[in-house]
Amino acid sequence: MDTILSELINNKMDKEWVCLSRFSKEYGNGARNFIRIARSNVGNLDMIVGPCIHCKNVERHHYDVVYEHLVIKGMDPFYTTWVLHGNPSSKTGCLQK
Ligand SMILES: [Zn+2]
């Protein structure tokens, strides 16, 4: 595990990006970090479960496709704990806004 990755996990990976505009740079960076952590969590497999509004953690795709889905379709707003992607320590807060 590299330093940036362990820092992200120790800092309870910032989840605020899911509430941002999907066209923002911050959202893109957050989604990329999310994919990295999710992949490392499953042993760096290329196929990971898609948490987007369409896949709803049922469909598996290549991580590049999962990233695209996050940007194009958006994260499933009811998936707030990210238990399948390595960071159940805190919840996303978008639904409360
Ligand atoms: Zn998807």
Q: How does pLDDT run across 24-80, given as a tens digit for each residue? A: 999 999 999 999 999 998 899 999 999 999 999 999 999 999 999 999 999 998 998
Rounded to the nearest angstrom, the distance between the alpha carbon of 89 and the centre of ligand 1 is 23
Tokens 């590299």 identify what position? 2
Ligand 1 (ion): which residues have CB within 5 A? 50, 52, 54-55, 69
> For position 15, what pLDDT does the model report?
84
Q: What is the chain's percent helix, strand, coil content, to nearest 5?
A: 45, 10, 45
Rounded to the nearest angstrom, the distance between the alpha carbon of 61 and the centre of ligand 1 is 7
Q: How does pLDDT run across 76-93, given as a tens digit for each residue? A: 989 988 888 886 667 776
Rounded to the nearest angstrom, the distance between the alpha carbon of 55 and the centre of ligand 1 is 4
Using an 8 Å Cβ cutoff, are 57 and 50 in contact? yes
Q: CA quadruple 66, 72, 73, 78: dihedral positive or negative?
A: positive
> For position 97, what pLDDT does the model report?
44
